[in-house]
């Protein structure tokens, strides 16, 4: 980073509390208004198109695609994740505003899937990012994705989807893992 | 009359040289010719037939001078004019000399640096 | 294809083969490759460089570079290939003939470690960021072991044992 | 006075709610037109609440921080300068604050403030979207101005009350029917104002990531969201007053604004997008021509 | 009284003596040479003083050889002759000094002899009272000139000398022939005698022919077109000192004798001859000089042109139909012209002697080489081009006024020539002031300095002469202030002192002009000028800036000439101050980066001013308020100058670069106040001229369209401008277009709008330009793509600019909206609905560039190189705050300005009072609508604060992030440049409107300039450089004169 220091503020995020006066209604609203950042990482992003358009119509669940991570609630890891992409994914995730959720599609984020011996596809996503919902399959069909989202809504509604909190609480461990495989960490350290 | 005609011819010849000749020397000569022509013209203007020069060298001229001599003034003028003409020619020739020493030519076409 | 005949007259052709009606393979030497390519581009109408590919003939100790050209008027393909020494894989760039070759050469450099002299950008990262091992497409690179070391455990112990065995088998096979 | 302010405040709350509801309805209708179920009509309320109650937000600087307020106050101000029901002591808002000329300039304030805030974010997409929006505004303002001037000259007044009063006495006195060309021009320019397709290149989520508000999140976004909703309602109300004879009571106001709301909605769902220069040139040709027809008529008749 | 024969005798004697001394003691020659010249000069000056003081009553008549005239030869020295003699010897003295310092060519003594003979001949030509003697002196002069021209022995000099000799011989042949024939016809050679005879009714058939012969000879020497090729060659080829003497002095003697001969031989066709040849020479030479690339030849063309003007004036003098008052004007003009031309041209030629190389490009950078050079050059160019306050200006004024009695076409001709002169002289000026490097110039600068000091010293004299003749009175206080402003130049060693002195002077000016601050139009503008200048001057705090030492004097001259301008009661006075303002501002603009822009500005200003002068000359009475029944052309002529200053389409081409590249400290004044002088002038034209026009409404409508098209196109161009100051320049011009539109409406409401906008435009545009100056000072560039993100570094400036831009865009609740509201209300009331549409659209387009100003400078990404930029200097910040307050206060209480405007308009009886009512809640009600500024302000502020508080209480945890932390597709941006959107911001819009922003006006103007230049280029080819051709021209033209004008 060096000279770029002045362009990025570099301080550790504060711990966030969960709850408050309107906790119930907040959770209810969050569950019914999931904005998904349009970021396709692997082959699964092709499955998201039918999910969100007329055939399966995810919008009836209150979901919609947004173009910028700042406004999004949900990050979908749609398939295998290379080292190079992982770096971007971490950045996107950190630019999203809490509360935020991660949904991982397919086998690859779980254990590498068919890319178990690839020199550049990671094996386990949850070493690097907190995943709220895993949807298995290679790739999962839109029906499965919708089911996954339904599950996510349930989790949010009942206040159990707290990956964003875990990430902040265990940030040091996540960072360690991330930096282990990303050799040249050309990113601001803590920044959102 | 012959004086008039010849003087005007002289002027015209000089003018011809100045207007047409491409050699600097010829132009200078033309100028001198013009000068001479003009002088001749002036003299002939002052001439009155049957009178003598306005130089009082004989005694009888002392009486009634003005009716016996030609008009003296043109002659005086011509004297001056001749002197001036000589001076001009001298300056002209010296300029021509200098010009020749610079470019080694007397063709007027070579002296057209200054234009437009 | 009669192109081959003309090529044979003009250049040192060490082998050729007509694969299909519209595809021929030509093998030449490193010294003659660039003249051949220029000739094909200028006189024979093979104006398009489709791709450059590389093959690792580890057992022969060679890298094979294949230049795939396309004649859009006659709809013919020709592949010109050369062999490089695997220990010291150096060759000249052809990006002055086809600018797009720059990226192919960069990729081959990254994946196989072939050096293209004169290519201005070949040392920049194309796909791999901060790669420290030997180029990953070389066949002596053990990708499974690399994955295990780098990305850590992916499932219970038994799976790891199996993967270790596979990795060792690969090493043995490679040693043969 | 205080009662008036209170009523205006209540009207404003109602306006925001109405705007959000209209947004939900438009999503629903769009979905039905695309053969989907779509979200509930209350979806915008849920989204607003969620954004409002997000845990964290980021700011890029002072202007960035203030811009949502600009947007909300600009939208609300525009809304409050337009009488909902002309002549009613409660529902004519603050229309004593200024006439149509004031209104047309006040409309810009919110947009300009938001543009500045968005620009401070440092994201290139934001100013790109802003410049597109401003350019498009230069396009649609021309026909809109033409028709507004037609009305002002025809009614010899620049106040909305006066214009509404001039339309009383039956449906055929509406300017929609007395000045059909000007009305057509204005309604076409309304499409540009609402940034609906085919003039949607301003937001363009697919290429410049919703343009100006691209860096806004959480509570900021909820402010902008409500500002935009009430701004839309203000525009519908303005058009109602200009062309549909105003409203004699609240119900008529709902009906007429809903009718106006449907017009860009239907266009949006069946048209592709124009490039910016195409839309500017479009606005400067056909709607302008229509407006000029009525302007010439007014000019010659006078 | 000194006997003139002494001058001639002593000079001749010294000449011989030098010749002798040269042979023995060459060093001693100077001891004879200089005293002789000094004596000559002093003797002539004593005589002149005698004539002027009245101690010598009648002309001095010197008899030679004891014979009384007409028999003997005599000298006749009157006032004119004495003056000319003084002039000749003064110039000769300057030239001799200059030559002496540089070193005479060898052989020194002979050159000195020639020099003395030349001065003597010239003096003799003017002194003599006898025709033959005249011929002798002409020959003396000519021969001396041949020798001197050839003295430098360069090839060109020899060539020029030869040509001169051939042509001169022919001309003297003509003179000689004419003299002899004259003697033959009249029997006398004495001028007075012949004059008396002819006046007494003597007539002869050949007399006309004879006198034409003499005049033709003299016309050759007077270098009339087209028989002046030889003269141009001399100017180009000969030694500049010789040329200075020839052009500055000797030719004037020929001119005098020409006038004398023509008046003695009194032939009715003479004045036509003079007018035709003088006018033709004047116009043609000024025109031919346009594309001249050789500096000396350019000066030659100018000399020839000035002589042409003199001959033209002589023609006017000879004209029998000229009234006596006009004759006095022309006489004064001739005196001033001779004075002006002699000194300025000798100064210029002596300066040319100091510059290596003859091409214009060799002159690049000489202005920065030495202050003396700069002073002399500027003074000389200004005076030779006839600019205030130098004598040439007053001469031109007098001549034009006199010529107007004669024929309007003559006025047109004089002004066209003057314009052409400005074109090429300022092209010269612009080329000379180009280049950062200092050119190497000689240090032989005393003589030109003295000459230009003479010019400066002649200013009061010239002013007095002109003021007497024209019954011109300028406000005395303003003149004092102008004088004091020039004195500030003397403080040039310290900018800080100059700054303080300037502030004090403005304060003193305000005190002095306080009685004029009444509630009328001029009082209104005076208040704006004084208050504005004081505030803006504050911001020019020099600090570490690199200001020219003449910055503050010029600045003050601009300010006070504007004050004089608005206090003028006559058109003359208006014009004089207008010109002073224009040229002082030209100097200021020329101090900036845009030298070429300054040139274009100069040309267009001059064109406008001369149009105005033409219009003024056609008015029966000079009082502003008494223009009766003008024609539309007159109205247009009078307003053209003002339209130029307002940069109305299509006269706007100067504005962008002149504003954008003038010194940053001057631009606020230029935009905030100086452009308003155009507004003031237009207001006068509307009030006093257009109002009496029969086609008034269509004239107004036309100007209304001009105004709105200016607003529209300039706004459009501003949108695509990538330079901060140029963008603001376009914006400024556009706003002035609105003001013009308001004036053209000619309704009370329209004028209210215009005047309101005038004040308000000063506030916000002054603020923006001041801020721009501060930004440019800190950042070092005004190129927008190199800025961005400066809000972090200059929060105050951003805040000030934000408010200014909101006011500029006319968005409520700030002050800018009132002007818009009034204007649109007025437009719709008047029924100019098409104009209203365009005006509305233009103000919509203004939003585009408003955003651009703020975004490209302050928002977006802070660039790498601007990271350490600091807030603007304190004085600038102070001025920003001062100018900020009215924007907000007027936004809430527009009546603070509207009420005074109403009072001012109450004085303007032609208009009446605007139909505005005010409600109890401070709302404004017009016939069309209403608007409550205070309510909007309170409402907006209240709602904003409420919303802000609510937000702060309820919002999520807001975290400030770094500038590069943006959603970038997950990528980490490498540098701010990658993220900044600051170049080509409206390219998409440009694609839509590129047919509207085709630079038509620029192309057309440039096309006209190029075409005229090409014609001039072609025309110049008649000077082929061939001796025979020149001789043929002489013969041909003489024959033509004889044929056409005989009898």
- Sequential DSSP letters for C43-110: HS---EEEEEEEEEETTTTEEEEEEEEEETTTTEEEEEEEEEESSS-EEE--TTT-TTHHHHHHHHHH
E626 touches chain A (CB under 8 A): no
Rounded Cα distance, E592 and E594, in Å: 6
Q: Give the nearest partner residue to E833 out of D80, D223, D295, using CB atoms.
A: D295
pLDDT of residue A5: 60
State the average pLDDT over residues E1007-1029.
90
Size of interface A-C (CB pairs under 8 A): 50
Indicate whether E850 pLDDT > 80: yes
Indicate whether B66 pLDDT > 80: no
Give the residue from B14, B29, B76, B114 with the most E CB atoms within 10 Å of its CB, the best one to mutate: B114
Backbone angles phi, psi at E614, to 5 degrees: -55, -45
Chain E: partners with 3+ C-beta pairs within 8 Å: A, B, D
pLDDT of residue E282: 92
* Residue B100 falls inside a structural domain: yes
pLDDT of residue E709: 92
Closest residue of A to E960, CA-based?
A: A9
Indicate whether D15 pLDDT > 70: yes
pLDDT in tens, E863-920: 888 888 888 888 889 999 999 999 889 888 888 888 888 888 888 767 777 777 787 7
Residue partners of E783: CB distance under 8 A and separation at least 6: E722, E723, E724
The reply to whether residue D61 touches residue E792, judged by beta carbons under 8 angstroms, is yes
pLDDT of residue D20: 92
pLDDT in tens, E495-505: 888 889 999 99
State the average pLDDT over residues E406-412.
88
Rounded Cα distance, B32 and B89, in Å: 7
Percent of chain E exceeding pLDDT 70 equals 98
The reply to whether residue E962 touches residue A9, judged by beta carbons under 8 angstroms, is yes
The reply to whether residue A57 touches residue D218, judged by beta carbons under 8 angstroms, is no
pLDDT of residue E69: 66
Indicate whether A1 pLDDT > 70: no
Query: Inter-axis angle of helices E724-745 and E675-684, to 10 degrees?
Result: 10
| A96: chain E residues, CB-CB within 8 Å | none
Neighbours of E786 (CB within 10 A): 19
Q: Which of E79, E80, E91 is nearest to E40 (CA)?
A: E91
Q: Which of E763, E768, E693, E708 is nearest to E740 (CA)?
A: E708
Residue partners of E796: CB distance under 8 A and separation at least 6: E871, E872, E877, E880, E881
Shortest Cα–Cα distance, C128 to chain A (Å) = 7
User: Which structural domain range is residue D48 located in?
Assistant: 2-301
The reply to whether residue A87 touches residue C129, judged by beta carbons under 8 angstroms, is yes
Give the residue from A2, A4, A5, A7 with the most E CB atoms within 10 Å of its CB, the best one to mutate: A7
Q: Give the nearest partner residue to D127 out of E855, E947, E968, using CB atoms.
A: E855
Indicate whether E757 pLDDT > 70: yes
pLDDT of residue A192: 58
Where residue B50 sits, what CATH number does that domain have? 1.10.287.3510
Which DSSP string do the residues of A45-114 spell out, in sequence order? HHHHHHHHSTTT-GGGGT-EEESSGGG-SEEEEES--BHHHHHHHHHHHHHSPSS-EEEEESSHHHH-GG
The model's pTM: 0.89
Rounded Cα distance, D130 and E486, in Å: 50
User: Which structural domain range is residue B41 located in?
Assistant: 2-110
Give the residue from D2, D127, D132, D166 with the most E CB atoms within 10 Å of its CB, the best one to mutate: D127
Rounded Cα distance, E731 and E850, in Å: 9
State the average pLDDT over residues D258-274.
89
Q: Is B110 exposed, middle or buried (0-12, 13-18, 19+ CB in 10 A)?
A: middle
Q: Is E815 exposed, middle or buried (0-12, 13-18, 19+ CB in 10 A)?
A: buried
SS3 C20: strand
Which DSSP string do the residues of D216-275 spell out, in sequence order? --HHHHHHHHHHHHHHHHHHHHHHHHHHS---SSHHHHHHHHHHHHHHHHHHHHH--PPP
Rounded Cα distance, E484 and C152, in Å: 87
Task: Flag the least confident range among A15-19, B94-98, D193-197, E114-118.
Answer: A15-19
State the average pLDDT over residues E656-675.
88
Q: Do chains E and B touch (3 or more CB pairs under 8 A)?
A: yes
Q: What's the ipTM? A: 0.83
**b/e code B12-38 from CB counts within 10 Å (16+ = b):** ebbbebbbebeebebbbbbbbbbbbbb
| E959: chain D residues, CB-CB within 8 Å | 56-59
Q: Do chains C and D touch (3 or more CB pairs under 8 A)?
A: no
Which DSSP string do the residues of E937-960 spell out, in sequence order? HHHHHHHHHHHHHHHHHHS-EEEE
* Start-end of H helices in E25-130: 29-53, 79-102, 108-127
Strand partners of residue A37:
A66
Residues of D within an 8 Å Cβ radius of A: 27, 31, 34-40, 43, 46-47, 49-51, 53-58, 205-206, 209-210, 213-218, 221
Indicate whether A2 pLDDT > 70: no
Rounded Cα distance, E777 and E770, in Å: 10
Closest residue of E to B104, CA-based?
A: E155
Percent of chain A exceeding pLDDT 70 equals 95
Percent of chain C exceeding pLDDT 90 equals 0
Rounded Cα distance, A23 and E892, in Å: 45
A47 touches A78 (CB < 8 A): yes
Mind listing the pLDDT tens digit of every residue in chain C (176 residues)?
Answer: 677 888 888 888 888 888 888 888 888 887 888 888 888 888 888 888 888 898 988 888 888 889 998 888 888 888 888 888 888 888 888 888 888 888 888 888 888 888 888 888 888 888 887 788 888 888 888 888 888 888 877 765 655 666 677 777 777 777 76
Strands C76-85 and C23-28: parallel
The 3 state secondary structure assigned to D125-177 is HHHHHHHHHHHHHHHHHHHHHHHHHHHHHHHCCCCHHHHHHCCCCCHHHCHHH
Strands E930-931 and E924-925: antiparallel
A182 touches A33 (CB < 8 A): no
State the average pLDDT over residues E265-275.
81
pLDDT in tens, E790-836: 888 888 999 999 999 999 988 888 888 888 888 998 888 888 889 99
Give the residue from E789, E967, E973, E977 with the most A CB atoms within 10 Å of its CB, the best one to mutate: E967
SS3 C117: strand
pLDDT in tens, A50-99: 888 888 888 888 888 888 888 899 999 888 888 888 888 988 898 888 88
E484 touches chain D (CB under 8 A): no
The 3 state secondary structure assigned to E217-269 is HHHHHCCCCCCCHHHHHHHHHCCHHHHHHHHHHHHHHHHHHHHHHHHHCCCCH
Percent of chain A exceeding pLDDT 90 equals 5
From the options 3.30.460.80, 3.40.50.460, 1.10.40.60, 3.40.718.10, give the CATH code of C2-124.
3.30.460.80
Q: Is E583 exposed, middle or buried (0-12, 13-18, 19+ CB in 10 A)?
A: buried
- What pLDDT band is residue E279 in, cutting at 50, 70 and 90? very high
Q: Give the nearest partner residue to C130 out of A116, A124, A183, using CB atoms.
A: A183
End-to-end CA distance of chain E: 42
pLDDT of residue A101: 92
* Residue B41 falls inside a structural domain: yes
Q: Give the nearest partner residue to D59 out of E958, E985, E989, using CB atoms.
A: E958
Indicate whether E960 pLDDT > 90: no
E785 touches E862 (CB < 8 A): no
The reply to whether residue E980 touches residue D70, judged by beta carbons under 8 angstroms, is no
pLDDT in tens, E301-354: 999 999 999 999 998 888 888 888 888 889 999 999 999 999 999 999 998 888
Give residues 130 to 159 of C whose Cβ lies within 8 Å of A: 130, 132-133, 136, 141, 143-144, 146-147, 150-155
Element (H, E) at E925: strand E924-925
pLDDT in tens, B13-39: 998 998 888 888 999 999 999 888 988
Strands A35-37 and A64-66: parallel
- How many structural domains does chain D have? 1
Shortest Cα–Cα distance, D219 to chain A (Å) = 10
pLDDT of residue C158: 59
Q: Which residue has the tokens 């909007």?
A: E936
pLDDT in tens, E701-719: 988 999 999 999 999 999 9
**Ordered structural domains, chain A, with CATH:** 2-14+25-181 (3.40.50.12280)
Chain D: partners with 3+ C-beta pairs within 8 Å: A, E
A67 touches chain D (CB under 8 A): yes
| D57: chain A residues, CB-CB within 8 Å | 97
| D71: chain E residues, CB-CB within 8 Å | none
Q: Give the nearest partner residue to E1025 out of B99, B103, B112, using CB atoms.
A: B112
Q: Is A53 exposed, middle or buried (0-12, 13-18, 19+ CB in 10 A)?
A: middle
| C153: chain A residues, CB-CB within 8 Å | 123-124
E867 touches chain D (CB under 8 A): no
State the average pLDDT over residues B41-52.
77
Which DSSP string do the residues of E706-729 spell out, in sequence order? HHHHHHHHHHHHHHT--BHHHHHH
E938 touches chain D (CB under 8 A): no
Shortest Cα–Cα distance, A69 to chain E (Å) = 6
SS3 E931: strand
A24 touches chain D (CB under 8 A): no
The reply to whether residue E1020 touches residue B116, judged by beta carbons under 8 angstroms, is yes
SS3 E1022: coil
């Amino acid at each position: 980073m060096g000279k770029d220091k002045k362009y990025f503020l570099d301080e550790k995020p504060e711990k966030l509390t969960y709850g408050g006066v309107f906790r119930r209604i907040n959770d209810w609203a969050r569950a019914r208004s999931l904005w998904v950042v349009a970021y396709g990482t692997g082959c699964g992003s092709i499955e998201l198109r039918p999910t969100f358009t007329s055939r399966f119509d995810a919008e009836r669940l209150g979901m919609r695609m947004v173009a910028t991570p700042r406004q999004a609630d949900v990050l979908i890891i749609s398939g295998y994740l290379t080292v190079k992409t992982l770096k971007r994914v971490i950045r996107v995730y950190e630019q999203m505003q809490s509360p935020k959720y991660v949904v991982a599609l397919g086998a690859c984020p779980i254990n590498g899937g068919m890319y178990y011996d690839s020199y550049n596809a990671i094996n386990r996503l949850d070493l690097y990012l907190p995943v709220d919902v895993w949807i298995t399959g290679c790739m999962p069909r839109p029906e499965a994705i919708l089911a996954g989202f339904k599950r996510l809504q349930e989790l949010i509604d009942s206040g159990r989807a707290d990956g964003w909190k875990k990430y902040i609480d265990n940030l040091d461990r996540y960072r360690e893992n991330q930096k282990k495989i990303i050799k040249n960490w050309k990113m601001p350290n803590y920044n959102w | 009359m012959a004086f008039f005609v010849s003087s005007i011819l002289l002027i015209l010849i000089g003018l011809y040289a100045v207007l047409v000749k491409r050699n600097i020397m010829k132009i200078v000569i033309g100028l001198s010719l013009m000068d001479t022509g003009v002088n001749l013209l002036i003299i002939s203007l002052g001439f009155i037939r049957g009178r003598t020069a306005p130089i009082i060298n004989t005694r009888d001229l002392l009486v009634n001078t003005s009716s016996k001599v030609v008009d003296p003034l043109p002659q005086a003028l011509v004297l001056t004019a001749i002197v001036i003409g000589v001076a001009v020619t001298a300056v002209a020739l010296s300029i021509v000399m200098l010009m020749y020493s610079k470019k080694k030519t007397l063709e007027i076409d070579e002296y057209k640096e200054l234009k437009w | 294809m009669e192109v081959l005949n003309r090529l044979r007259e003009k250049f040192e052709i060490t082998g050729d083969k007509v694969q299909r009606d519209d595809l021929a393979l030509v093998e030449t030497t490193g010294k003659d490759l660039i003249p051949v390519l220029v000739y094909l581009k200028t006189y024979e109408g093979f104006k398009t460089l489709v791709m450059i590919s590389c093959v690792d003939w580890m057992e022969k100790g060679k890298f094979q570079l294949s230049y795939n050209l396309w004649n859009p008027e006659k709809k013919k393909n020709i592949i010109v290939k050369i062999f490089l020494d695997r220990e010291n894989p150096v060759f000249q760039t052809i990006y002055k003939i086809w600018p797009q070759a720059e990226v192919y050469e960069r990729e081959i450099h990254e994946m196989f470690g072939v050096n293209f002299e004169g290519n201005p950008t070949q040392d920049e990262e194309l796909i791999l960021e901060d790669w420290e091992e030997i180029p990953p497409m070389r066949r002596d690179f053990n990708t499974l072991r690399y994955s295990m070391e780098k990305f850590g455990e992916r499932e219970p112990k038994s799976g790891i044992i199996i993967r270790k065995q596979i990795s060792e088998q690969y090493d043995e096979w490679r040693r043969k | 006075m205080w009662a008036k302010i209170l009523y205006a405040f209540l009207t404003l709350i109602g306006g925001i709610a109405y705007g959000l509801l209209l947004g939900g309805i438009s999503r629903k209708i769009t979905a039905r037109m695309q053969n989907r179920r779509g979200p509930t009509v209350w979806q915008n309320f849920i989204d607003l609440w969620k954004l409002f109650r997000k845990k964290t937000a980021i700011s890029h600087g002072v202007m960035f921080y203030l811009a949502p307020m600009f947007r909300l106050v600009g939208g609300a101000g525009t809304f409050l300068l337009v009488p909902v029901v002309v002549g009613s002591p409660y529902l004519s808002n603050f229309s004593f604050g200024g006439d149509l000329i004031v209104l047309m300039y006040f409309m810009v304030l919110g947009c300009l403030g938001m543009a500045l805030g968005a620009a401070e974010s440092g994201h290139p997409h934001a100013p790109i979207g802003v410049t597109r929006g401003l350019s498009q505004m230069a396009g649609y303002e021309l026909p809109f101005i033409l028709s507004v001037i037609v009305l002002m000259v025809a009614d010899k007044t620049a106040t909305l009350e006066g214009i509404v009063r001039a339309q009383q006495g039956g449906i055929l006195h509406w300017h929609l029917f007395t000045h059909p060309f000007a009305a057509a021009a204005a309604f076409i320019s309304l499409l540009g104002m609402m940034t609906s397709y085919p003039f949607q290149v301003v937001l363009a989520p697919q290429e410049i990531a919703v343009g100006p508000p691209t860096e806004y999140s959480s509570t900021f976004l909820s402010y902008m969201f409500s500002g935009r909703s009430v701004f839309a309602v203000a525009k519908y109300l303005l058009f109602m007053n200009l062309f549909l004879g105003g409203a004699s009571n609240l119900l008529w106001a709902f009906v007429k604004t809903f009718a106006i709301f449907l017009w860009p909605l239907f266009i949006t769902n069946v048209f592709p997008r124009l490039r910016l220069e195409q839309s500017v040139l479009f606005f400067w040709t056909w709607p302008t021509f229509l407006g000029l027809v009525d302007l010439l008529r007014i000019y010659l008749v006078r | 009284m000194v006997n003139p024969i002494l001058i001639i005798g002593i000079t001749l004697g010294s000449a011989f003596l030098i010749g002798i001394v040269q042979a023995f003691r060459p060093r001693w020659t100077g001891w004879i040479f200089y005293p002789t010249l000094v004596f000559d000069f002093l003797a002539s000056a004593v005589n002149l003083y005698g004539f002027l003081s009245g101690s010598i009553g009648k002309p001095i008549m010197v008899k030679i050889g004891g014979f009384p005239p007409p028999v003997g030869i005599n000298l006749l020295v009157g006032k004119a002759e004495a003056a000319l003699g003084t002039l000749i010897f003064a110039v000769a003295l300057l030239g001799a000094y200059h030559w002496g310092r540089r070193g005479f060519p060898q052989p020194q003594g002979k050159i000195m002899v020639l020099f003395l003979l030349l001065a003597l001949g010239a003096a003799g030509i003017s002194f003599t009272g006898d025709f033959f003697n005249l011929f002798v002196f002409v020959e003396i002069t000519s021969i001396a000139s041949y020798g001197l021209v050839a003295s430098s022995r360069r090839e060109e000099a020899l060539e020029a000398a030869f040509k001169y000799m051939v042509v001169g011989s022919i001309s003297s042949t003509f003179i000689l022939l004419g003299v002899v024939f004259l003697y033959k016809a009249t029997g006398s050679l004495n001028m007075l005698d012949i004059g008396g005879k002819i006046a007494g009714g003597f007539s002869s058939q050949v007399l006309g022919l004879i006198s034409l012969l003499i005049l033709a000879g003299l016309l050759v020497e007077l270098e009339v077109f087209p028989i002046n090729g030889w003269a141009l060659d001399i100017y180009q080829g000969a030694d500049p000192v010789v040329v200075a003497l020839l052009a500055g002095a000797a030719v004037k003697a020929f001119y005098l004798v020409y006038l004398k001969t023509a008046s003695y031989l009194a032939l009715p066709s003479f004045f036509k001859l003079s007018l035709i040849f003088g006018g033709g020479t004047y116009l043609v030479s000024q025109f031919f000089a346009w594309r001249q690339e050789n500096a000396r030849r350019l000066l030659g063309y100018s000399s020839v042109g000035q002589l042409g003007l003199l001959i033209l004036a002589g023609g006017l003098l000879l004209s029998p139909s000229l009234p006596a008052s006009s004759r006095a004007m022309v006489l004064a003009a001739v005196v001033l012209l001779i004075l002006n031309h002699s000194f300025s041209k000798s100064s210029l030629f002596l300066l040319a002697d100091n510059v290596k190389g003859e091409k214009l490009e060799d002159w690049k950078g000489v202005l920065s080489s030495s202050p003396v050079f700069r002073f002399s050059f500027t003074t000389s160019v200004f005076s030779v081009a006839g600019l205030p306050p130098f004598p040439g200006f007053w001469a031109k004024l007098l001549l034009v006024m006199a010529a107007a009695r004669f024929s309007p076409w003559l006025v047109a001709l004089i002004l066209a020539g003057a314009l052409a002169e400005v074109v090429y002289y300022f092209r010269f000026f612009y080329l000379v002031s180009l280049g950062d490097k200092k050119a190497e110039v000689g240090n032989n600068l005393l003589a030109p300095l003295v000459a230009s000091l003479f010019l400066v010293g002649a200013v009061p004299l010239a002013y007095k002469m002109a003021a007497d003749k024209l019954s011109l009175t300028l406000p005395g206080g303003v003149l004092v202030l102008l004088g004091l402003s020039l004195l500030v130049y003397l403080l040039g060693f310290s900018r800080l002192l100059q700054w303080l002195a300037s502030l004090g002077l403005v304060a003193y000016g305000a005190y002095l002009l306080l009685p004029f601050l009444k509630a009328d139009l001029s009082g209104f503008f005076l208040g704006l000028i004084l208050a504005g200048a004081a505030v803006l001057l504050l911001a020019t705090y020099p600090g570490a800036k690199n200001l020219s030492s003449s910055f503050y004097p010029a600045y003050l001259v601009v300010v006070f000439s504007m004050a004089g301008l608005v206090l003028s009661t006559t058109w003359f006075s208006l014009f004089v101050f207008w010109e002073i303002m224009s040229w002082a501002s030209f100097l200021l603009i020329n101090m900036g980066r845009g030298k070429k822009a300054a040139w274009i500005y100069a040309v267009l200003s001059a064109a406008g001013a001369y149009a105005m002068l033409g219009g003024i000359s056609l008015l029966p009475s000079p009082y502003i308020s008494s223009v009766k029944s003008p024609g539309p052309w007159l109205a247009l002529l009078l307003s053209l100058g003002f339209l130029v200053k307002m940069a109305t389409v299509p006269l706007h081409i100067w504005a962008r670069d002149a504003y954008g590249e003038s010194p940053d400290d001057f631009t606020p004044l230029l935009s905030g106040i100086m452009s308003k002088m155009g507004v003031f002038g237009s207001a006068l034209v509307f009030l006093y001229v257009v109002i009496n026009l029969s086609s008034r409404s269509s004239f107004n409508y036309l100007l209304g369209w001009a105004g709105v098209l200016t607003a529209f196109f300039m706004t459009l161009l501003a949108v695509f401008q990538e330079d901060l100051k140029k963008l603001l320049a376009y914006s400024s011009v556009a706003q002035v277009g609105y003001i013009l539109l308001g004036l053209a409406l000619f309704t009370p409401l329209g004028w209210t709008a215009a005047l309101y906008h005038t004040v308000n435009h000063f506030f916000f545009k002054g603020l923006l330009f001041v801020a721009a100056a501060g930004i440019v000072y800190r950042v070092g560039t005004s190129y927008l793509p190199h800025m961005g993100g400066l809000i972090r570094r200059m929060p105050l400036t951003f805040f000030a600019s934000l408010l200014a831009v909101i006011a500029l865009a006319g968005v409520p609740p700030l002050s800018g909206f009132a002007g818009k509201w009034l204007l649109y209300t007025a437009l719709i009331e008047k029924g100019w609905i098409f104009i209203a549409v365009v005006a509305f659209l233009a103000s919509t387009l203004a939003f585009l560039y408003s955003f651009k100003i703020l975004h490209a400078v302050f928002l977006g990404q802070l660039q790498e190189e601007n990271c350490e930029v600091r807030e603007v200097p304190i004085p600038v910040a102070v001025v920003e705050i001062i100018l900020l307050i009215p924007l907000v206060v007027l936004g809430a209480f527009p009546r603070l300005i509207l009420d005074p405007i109403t009072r001012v308009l109450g004085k303007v009886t032609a208009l009446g009072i605007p139909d505005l009512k005010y409600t109890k809640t401070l709302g404004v009600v017009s016939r069309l609508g209403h608007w409550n500024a205070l309510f909007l302000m309170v409402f907006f502020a209240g709602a904003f604060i409420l919303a802000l508080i609510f937000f702060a209480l309820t919002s999520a945890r807001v975290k400030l992030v770094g500038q590069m932390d943006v959603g970038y597709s997950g990528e980490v941006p490498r540098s701010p440049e990658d993220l900044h959107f600051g170049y080509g911001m409206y390219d998409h819009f440009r694609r839509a409107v590129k047919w509207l922003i085709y630079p038509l006006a620029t192309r057309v103007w440039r096309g006209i300039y190029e075409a005229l230049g090409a014609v001039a280029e072609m025309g110049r080819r008649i000077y082929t450089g061939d001796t025979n051709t020149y001789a043929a021209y002489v013969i041909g033209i003489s024959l033509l004169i004889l044929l056409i004008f005989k009898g």
